[in-house]
């Protein structure tokens, strides 16, 4: 079984000058899900890991460099997540490869990424729109005394069972750390739900308690979904995190209750 310590994370590596699909490094989702208490045989959510690439290039048949942006969508039902540094190295390995057409590039990406994830991955040469404001209500303006920055404290979460609401809460204060390198991962997170009104003070304290926590982006979002489900008992729930980019690549995990509408794909200003 691949573990983060087996990957290129935290190691000095030479950026590739030749195409190499073997650079992609899969990490099984099973161990982290078991730790959170999520049964892989009966996932409590649907969703995907949506990646945005801002630095994708290859050579056309005449050797002329081509550049574009891309969106990659990895289903949350895939047995593996794709480790981010290996993803960046792989994309850079395309820089000197000749393709006859953009369609050939797309087919190559879908094949290689699908093999790494263990499930079909969709690729499109476009990005979702930037969003500002909208219906989401920020919880970040509260004046709080906080002294806990990890590990995540699910006990902070509570909800008012006498007050059933449907709303979208947002925070730009989600931060965690790479479990291998310790580098910071910054994100905004939208929490949409219907159910007992979530206590906003407790929610903000909970999100800030990820600040020194070491876990991959996808696993943080699944932890948030699982903790909110257990502590606040929403009728339905959606958690959508938009992480800032590193090395020309950002990730946007989405987890949503089965039967509820997935949030629209979007980017925020920090991306």
The whole-angstrom separation of Cα 243 and Cα 252 is 6
185 is catalytic: yes
The domains found in the chain, sorted by start residue, are 4-124 (3.30.1130.10), 137-256 (3.30.1130.10)
The whole-angstrom separation of Cα 23 and Cα 71 is 19
The whole-angstrom separation of Cα 170 and Cα 257 is 18
The whole-angstrom separation of Cα 216 and Cα 73 is 17
Contact 164, 196 (CB under 8 A): yes
Q: What is the CA radius of gyration of the chain?
A: 19
Catalytic choice (112, 185, 190, 250): 185
The whole-angstrom separation of Cα 44 and Cα 257 is 7
pLDDT band at 29 (very low <50, low <70, confident <90, very high): very high
CA angle 170, 172, 175 (to 5 degrees): 120
Classify 160 as helix, strand or coil: strand
232 is catalytic: no
Q: What is the pLDDT of residue 15?
A: 75
Dihedral Cα 229, 232, 234, 239, nearest 10 deg? -50
pLDDT at 12 over 60: no
229: annotated binding-site residue? no
pLDDT band at 13 (very low <50, low <70, confident <90, very high): low
The reported pTM is 0.92
Mean pLDDT, range 231-251, rounded to an integer = 97
217: annotated binding-site residue? yes
């Amino acid at each position: 079984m691949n573990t983060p310590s087996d990957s290129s994370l935290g190691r000095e590596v030479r950026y590739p000058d030749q195409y190499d699909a073997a650079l992609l490094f899969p990490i099984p989702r099973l161990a982290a899900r078991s730790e959170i208490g999520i049964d892989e045989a009966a996932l409590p959510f649907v969703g995907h890991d949506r990646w945005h690439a801002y630095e994708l290039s290859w050579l056309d048949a005449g050797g002329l460099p081509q550049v574009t942006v891309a969106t990659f969508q990895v289903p949350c039902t895939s047995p593996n997540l794709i480790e981010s540094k290996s993803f960046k190295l792989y994309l850079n390995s395309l820089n000197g490869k000749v393709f006859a057409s953009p369609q050939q590039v797309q087919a190559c990406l879908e094949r290689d990424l699908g093999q790494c994830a263990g499930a079909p991955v969709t690729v499109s040469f476009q990005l979702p729109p930037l969003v500002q404001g909208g219906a989401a209500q920020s919880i970040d303006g509260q004046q709080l005394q906080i002294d806990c920055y990890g590990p995540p404290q699910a006990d902070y979460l509570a909800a008012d069972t006498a007050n059933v609401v449907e709303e979208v809460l947002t925070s730009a204060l989600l931060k965690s750390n790479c479990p291998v390198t310790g580098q910071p991962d910054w994100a905004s997170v939208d929490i949409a739900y219907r159910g007992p009104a979530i206590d906003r003070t407790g929610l903000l304290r909970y999100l800030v308690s990820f600040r020194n926590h070491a876990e991959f982006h996808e696993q943080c979002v699944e932890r948030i979904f699982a903790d909110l489900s257990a502590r606040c008992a929403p009728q339905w729930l959606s958690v959508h995190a938009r992480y800032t980019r590193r090395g020309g690549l950002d990730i946007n995990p989405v987890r949503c209750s089965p039967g509820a509408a997935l949030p629209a794909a979007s980017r925020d200003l920090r991306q």
